[in-house]
Structure 1
């Protein structure tokens, strides 16, 4: 039996500890080689900052050999002797324990038998880091741009594992129509005023809590005007209100015009605003107040103009009757906006010859009537009706309506068409849908001379 000589020499010089590990050669026992070998396997250990990890180093047939732990070229332990001054590092048997893990502890740790001629065991320590982000422009900043421009936001994330970065808009969808978009870069092209708002970048990797940053986008744009009613009906002695809804950033200056002439505020003509709604109120309307009005808005980027007509005449009739009738009569119903009573109604209707295409030369029937009316003061609408008789069954009809108050006739209504059902045969199915007559109709509307 031959046993190798192994010496551990500690040299103390000026307070420094130097370690020399000597191995005189291989070990032989009973005429054969019995070499030490590792029972542990190399592994990667993941830890969060503050954790404690134990790196295993189990060796079989160690004999008189010494276990050495190193990190890189730095010696940590030799045998049961701790070399490093780091109080967080200690031996548990031959296993290496590291407490209160720091980010700087990541890397390779080597368990070595003697001088390393019998191999070594390498463990890797990786530190799991919760995500952190850096946003450009800076987190919380407000980025100002103009309508139509292109802007880009960046969200650089770090952490281990690599975080997933997603963009979202705090209120609503992204301009692309997506709820979220993955990637560090968010680019917005042809920016519109609706794109203004807070954009959020969120990074997550399953370690700790996800982190979120925010950038606000401020979009400057020229004025955009909408009018709820481009036609306003009123009467002499009454009050009229004209509204323009204005969107503009920076805020614009609003001016009112009548027939292209600028208006000034008076006791009877009042200009006001509430939020984005700009109002021209005309009290005790006079005949000279009727005409075309416009509201104009301009700011440093551009301008816009919208028109509103103020008139005493009724609005066009809106026919609300169904598209079918009994075989020989039809109850025609319509609504017209007029603050003043309707004094006369003109109805024109005709039967369409639908046996061939383009054949629309049926005779117009011209009725002038004075039907009753039901007035709704909230909407200034008047409901009227009239029964048209002596219809031809199983036929297609069309009609037009004009209404008149003391200021004159309205514009002509839209063309309204209906079918008269065949005698003895229901025309409307159980679903309320109209059964087809089995004929194709193409209509070329000809306004009768009586309207001209």
Structure 2
């Protein structure tokens, strides 16, 4: 009975101590107080872990220069000792991250993987895999080793501009020649212009880009780009540049002198690309072949031929050349008037000047007009040389200007027949020397007292000779 009473008392104490049977809503003393769990411990938990104790990590692998053929597997070692667990091991290609520990960067080829011993493996290497690979440990300071991978490959041109075999440009347009090549070692790119020279005058230009600010006709032709790197294959690309331009038209004679009943020939030379269409006009109206007028073409030479020229054929003609770029023209006058005098020669005698010209005229020349003046003055003087009989339709004009004062002169000649007055000849120049001043200078030199002894010696010698001759005669 006593034992049973003790057991009941112990059970009651345990019940009261654990709070079981506590009335609902009754709190323990200080239940609403906030407890301090230790701020210093919380701050310590958020801080960086202390640096690992022990020696720093060391990469024992040495840098390598590796040459691999396309398709081979390459191993890039990174042996590390003293590597603490909280250090990361990184692999980079140039500045591009490949691996951080065992995590491959997104976008990295699955051909590239990192082995358990930190070696980087590249399977089926390609040309683009060439570069510098670095294994780095994120210690402080970091340690690293770099390997160079070279995948030799022959030179190959991957970009060519112009990108077609034939390129057409307008005269004066800019042109850039571009030739981009790949390969290992890096290819050497050379531009040439077979059978000619490059725009800078050299036979070859070692550059991937050649710029021509404004193309000329000399820039037209074939060009070659050559890429080589000593790996056996030499890649060559060719193309042709064509330079188009507006017609260039030249009148062979701007004035054609003819006569009634004679054959007249008007000529113009035309050069153009694309080829120009050439036509003729008389006083602004189209001229076509027919009757005594024939239009002929000999490659670049275009001829308007008039057989048995009539008086009404004398007019102003226009040679017109047209292509898609532009229309150009040249004016030719067909006239019965004398030709422009062609200067032959001149000769000076004292204060006179004799000049000679030749003139062509199919009708009799009735008058010559010669104008002359001292140069740099406006005082023109006029004379009319004598008209002499021609030899056929060739007239020779010879005229002497007399009593000319010393100085520099300009002279021009024109002629006239029943069809009109010719144009004046090109100016001819001649000079008249001042012989009077030269003689006066000589006299003054002889009268100079400083030269008396020199000048009297010849006179004395002559006197002695005369006296000796007189004695002999006696």
CA distances 1:262-283 after superposition (whole Å, capped 9, x unpaired): 1122032111222222222111
CA distance in 2: counterparts of 1:367 and 1:425, whole angstroms = 32
**1:281–1:208 distance in 2 versus 1, CA, 3 Å:** farther
CA distances 1:126-182 after superposition (whole Å, capped 9, x unpaired): 676654434525777112344454443321123444333333444555556665544
CA distance in 1: counterparts of 2:274 and 2:151, whole angstroms = 50
Q: Could you tell me which residue of structure 1 aligns to residue 348 of structure 2?
A: 325
CA distance in 2: counterparts of 1:226 and 1:351, whole angstroms = 34
Q: Could you tell me which residue of structure 2 aligns to residue 391 of structure 1?
A: 403
Secondary structure in 2 matching 1:72: strand
Of 299, 308, 313, the residue aligned with 1:275 is: 299
Secondary structure in 1 matching 2:411: strand
CA distance in 1: counterparts of 2:190 and 2:319, whole angstroms = 44
Alignment length (residue pairs): 317
Taking CA–CA contacts closer than 8 Å with sequence separation of 6 or more, which of the two structures ends up with the larger relative contact order?
1
Of 399, 411, 420, the residue aligned with 2:432 is: 420
Q: Could you tell me which residue of structure 2 aligns to residue 199 of structure 1?
A: 223
Any conservation in 2 of the 1:137–1:215 contact (CA below 8 Å)? no
TM-score by length of 1: 0.56
Q: Could you tell me which residue of structure 1 aligns to residue 75 of structure 2?
A: 72
CA distances 1:361-387 after superposition (whole Å, capped 9, x unpaired): 36x241231246567xxxx9x473424
Any conservation in 2 of the 1:391–1:420 contact (CA below 8 Å)? no
Any conservation in 2 of the 1:130–1:160 contact (CA below 8 Å)? yes
Any conservation in 2 of the 1:294–1:306 contact (CA below 8 Å)? yes
- Is 1:310 aligned with 2:316? no
- Which structure 2 residue ranges, 5 or more long, are not aligned? 1-61, 78-125, 133-145, 439-474
**1:105–1:401 distance in 2 versus 1, CA, 3 Å:** closer
Structure 1 residue 48, shift from structure 2 partner: 12
Structure 1 residue 420, shift from structure 2 partner: 1.8
CA distance in 2: counterparts of 1:409 and 1:270, whole angstroms = 28
CA distance in 1: counterparts of 2:418 and 2:337, whole angstroms = 8
- Which structure 1 residue ranges, 5 or more long, are not aligned? 1-40, 50-69, 75-101, 109-121, 427-452
- Equivalences for 1:11-160 in 2 at 5 Å? 72=75, 131-137=155-161, 141-160=165-184
Structure 1 residue 409, shift from structure 2 partner: 2.5
Any conservation in 2 of the 1:372–1:385 contact (CA below 8 Å)? no
Structure 1 residue 240, shift from structure 2 partner: 1.9
TM-score by length of 2: 0.54
- Is 1:368 aligned with 2:385? yes
- Is 1:183 aligned with 2:186? no
Task: Using the TM superposition, name which of 126-135 and 289-298 deviates more.
Answer: 126-135
CA distance in 2: counterparts of 1:175 and 1:273, whole angstroms = 34
Structure 1 residue 210, shift from structure 2 partner: 5.9
CA distance in 1: counterparts of 2:434 and 2:233, whole angstroms = 74
Structure having the higher Rg:
2
Q: Could you tell me which residue of structure 1 aligns to residue 421 of structure 2?
A: 409
Q: Could you tell me which residue of structure 1 aligns to residue 269 of structure 2?
A: 245
CA distances 1:315-364 after superposition (whole Å, capped 9, x unpaired): 22233435x7231332312243x252663452435463x8xxx65436x2
**1:331–1:383 distance in 2 versus 1, CA, 3 Å:** farther
Task: Using the TM superposition, name which of 270-279 and 210-219 deviates more.
Answer: 210-219
Secondary structure in 1 matching 2:312: helix
Any conservation in 2 of the 1:344–1:369 contact (CA below 8 Å)? no
